[in-house]
Amino acid sequence: MSSPTVAELVPILQTAIGPALLISGVGLLLLTMTNRLGRVVDRARLLVHQLEDCPAELRSRKAAQLPILWQRARQIRLAITFASISALLAAILVVMLFLSALLRIEDAWLISVLFILCMGTLIASLIVFLRDINRSLTALKVELEEGHRKAG
């Protein structure tokens, strides 16, 4: 079995560019998600600290935000997990494209399944991420109601 020529590898390189770009895009998405997770964690810690010095009539309203923040943190963690799996599958896809060319193995099913799983986990990550964004509006509503009550 002979090694493929450079001319034979060029189409593989061209094919591998898509999954490689996907890894870059998912990396930026992960950066956004980890920043959101950090903000949720910071907000929860601040609320817990404020509960210690909070008057009793405000304590329940502030405490009502904590379960929402916990759910958001769990959702963001799930979104990060799905996005990380997507990037991992994209990396495996690139490796499999090259191995199939080097070893002259024609396994379109494996490549197709890896790509579909990669896209499926990315879609799942984005759905969970959108759910977190909607959940953050719930937390904001609780906080705004608290501010409205203080002002009124």
Q: Quote the pLDDT of residue 130.
A: 95
- Signed CA dihedral, 4, 5, 11, 15: sign only: positive
How many Å apart are CA 77 and CA 110, to the nearest integer? 28
Q: Quote the pLDDT of residue 1.
A: 60
Q: Quote the pLDDT of residue 113.
A: 95
Please say whether the beta carbons of 100 and 64 come within 8 A: no
Is pTM beyond 0.75? Reply is yes
Q: Say whether 106 sits in a helix, a strand or coil.
A: coil
Q: What is the pLDDT along the chain (152 residues), one digit of tens a residue?
A: 667 677 777 777 777 788 888 999 999 999 999 999 999 999 999 999 988 888 887 788 788 888 989 999 999 999 999 999 999 999 999 999 888 878 888 888 999 999 999 999 999 999 999 999 988 887 777 777 767 776 76
How far is Cα of residue 80 from the mean position of the Cα atoms in its chain?
3
Q: Which of 19, 16, 21, 29 is nearest to 83 (CA)?
A: 29
Tokens of 124: 């799942």
Tokens 């769990």 appear where? 74
Tokens of 53: 């010095």
